Chain A
Amino acid sequence: MRSEQAPLWLKVLAYGGLVFLHFPILVVALYAFNTEESAFSFPLKGFTLRWFREAAAREDVLAAIQLSLQVAAVATVVALVLGTLLAAALYRGRFFGKDALTLMVALPIALPGIITGIALLSAFRMAEVESGFWTIAVGHATFCVVMVHNNVVARFRRMPHSLVEASSDLGADGFQTFRHVVLPQLATALLAGGMLAFALSFDELIVTTFTAGHERTLPLWLLNQLGRPRDVPVTNVVALCVMLVTAAPILVAWRLTRGTEDVAGSSR
């Protein structure tokens, strides 16, 4: 099977599909260097780096980036702790409610974001919690758990249980076994899961529109920009940067989990 050559039409369709997937991304990258001020016209008018300088000087852009980074950091830490605990509890053995738990972890990203968002909003209102940084972070952490959980559960399943038994036989207690045997095995899965959780939180928009109140994360800033045609060049630059920031953790996560059967990032 492997030695066969693919028929030409299949190659064209497959590579054509890839071109389609990357075309808009390329367009955003090109427009970020366009000299024109307020239109989407093509062909492009000329090359400039001016908009990068202008974007970097904009207070609202910097504030949005800072908020998004902080939210993603908090969400990632919470997701790492909860996701690992869940994975450790769920990877082995069967007990009542296990399937329901697995479903519950996946539900916040399986259900449309608008449902999660509006549910959180109505709960925060009922509890009379003021919308702001913490409501955003709590929402993000909730749907990030599944990223860490999936990666760590896959690693737990691949890890031979005999390693843990050997450690106990050699006199280590549970904490020592965790620290010196289990944790090193989990390290790259944790890192990969954490990276994915970070990327997911960094560009989440739909749930955030409901939980943000007056705060403005980077995706919310971008959404708001779309109604401002005069500010197009700065929007293009920020769009390109957002894309680069999310691409990096995905690539790292892929490198870290390559060769394992459940590859990081294969589902969102």
Chain B
Amino acid sequence: MDTSPPVVLTPSLRPRTGLLRALSTFLYRRTTLFLLLLLTPPLLWFGIVYVGSLLALLTQSFYTFDDFTMEVTSTFTWANYAGLLDEANADIVLRTLGMAGAVTIASAALAFPIAYYMARYATGWRKGFFYIAVVLPMWASYIVKAYAWTVILSRGGIVYWGVEALGLLPALEWVLAQPVVGGSSLTTSTLGRFLVFTYVWLPFMVLPIQASIERVPGNLLQASADLGARPAQTFRTVLLPLAFPGVVAGSIFTFSLTLGDYIIPQLVGPPGLFIGTMVSTLQGSVGNVPMAAAFTVVPILLIGVYLTVARRLGAFDAL
């Protein structure tokens, strides 16, 4: 015999009749209408606020900026896009691309061992520990991280103190005297800027690589070892090709984040504009919003090309 007490439903749990029920049934039968109702608020928001803004930006890129009166008029012109082809602008684009490429390669090199250890060896609490240890710096305030590096790299700061204690100051001076990477001190050198960029975007590289290594079946690596491959061979011929989409997925972040950044180039490194700083200068101190708008098309195009290549390399399956 069933001795459990009878189930008593609270009023809100009882089947009910009335308007709400009718409405619910009505929506259940018309799935398309229900879908539309769900989608209307977000569509309105994104359509008006976001897509609308992007269109406003695009429209402005065809407006005319008068160099003498410093005023923007809504006369149609191609002049802003023609101005993009200036030699000085090509310099800016190349400088930014070079940095984005270097940061991406360095992040991949630093991230791979961390990701590999996380995916293959860290078990139990260590796995959680590693995950948190990567995610926390990733989410830590961007401006605080950039600020921390200006403190670390400044003259009389930790790095100079450590280098001096080791007696390596002449070596550092020599590196800073080199063209391209150098500068008058670490905070005003391209090397310093590269270090900060690599630091800030490194966590974005670790997690996609870790996820892709997790997906490589362990028995493939064992099979490779059984067939006589040395660990280095297994790494090069089995693991790396299978984990490569993860590297490309991570590189999307490091590449595009470096490409669009405009705070770090202002804080660390030598003068010389980046795409981001150029856009913000044009918009802010110059007041030439049409030219700034045209300039934003450059990173969008570059990222578009990068994403197309990444897709070919299978990066989206690794995300």
Contacts and interface: CB of A to CB of B under 8 A. Distances in A.
B196 to A, nearest CB: 9
B156 A205 contact: no
A10 B112 CA distance: 10
Contacts of A138: 49
Nearest to A138: B49
Contacts of A251: 132, 136
A250 B157 CA distance: 30
Which secondary structure dominates where chain A touches chain B?
helix
Given A11-B117, A174-B27, A40 B151 contact: yes
B141 A242 contact: yes
Interface in B279-316: 279-280, 283, 289, 292-293, 296, 299-300, 303
A39 B147 CA distance: 13
Given A123-B53, A174-B27, A250 B139 contact: yes
A159 interface: no
A215 interface: no
Nearest to A178: B24
B276 to A, nearest CB: 5
Can you list the 9 inter-chain pairs with the closest CB atoms, starting with the nearest?
Answer: A112-B260, A171-B15, A14-B117, A174-B24, A13-B113, A24-B148, A1-B218, A123-B53, A173-B24
B172 interface: no
Interface stretch (A25-33, A46-54, A182-190): A25-33
Contacts of B202: 17, 20-21
A88 B300 contact: no
A24 B24 contact: no
Contacts of A13: 113-114, 117
Interface stretch (B40-48, B83-91, B240-248): B40-48
Contacts of B25: 173-174
B141 A85 contact: no
Interface of B: 12-13, 15-16, 20-21, 24-25, 27-28, 35, 38-39, 41-43, 45-46, 49-54, 56-57, 59-60, 110-111, 113-114, 116-118, 120-121, 123, 128, 130-145, 147-152, 154, 156-158, 160-161, 199, 202-204, 206-207, 211, 218, 221-222, 256-257, 259-263, 267, 276, 279-280, 283, 289, 292-293, 296, 299-300, 303, 319
B222 A1 contact: yes
A56 interface: no
Nearest to A26: B148
A17 B42 contact: no
Contacts of A243: 140-141, 144
Contacts of A223: 143, 263
Interface size class, chain A: 35 or more
B56 A206 contact: no
Contact of A122 (B56, B141, B144): B56
Contacts of A123: 49, 52-53, 56-57
Interface string A199-239: 10001011001100000000100110010000000010001
A219 B60 contact: no
Contacts of B256: 110-112
A21 to B, nearest CB: 4
Contact of B114 (A18, A85, A205): A18
A205 to B, nearest CB: 5
A142 B45 contact: yes
B144 A239 contact: yes
Contact of B21 (A120, A173, A246): A173
A89 B147 contact: no
A80 B128 CA distance: 27
Contacts of B138: 265, 268
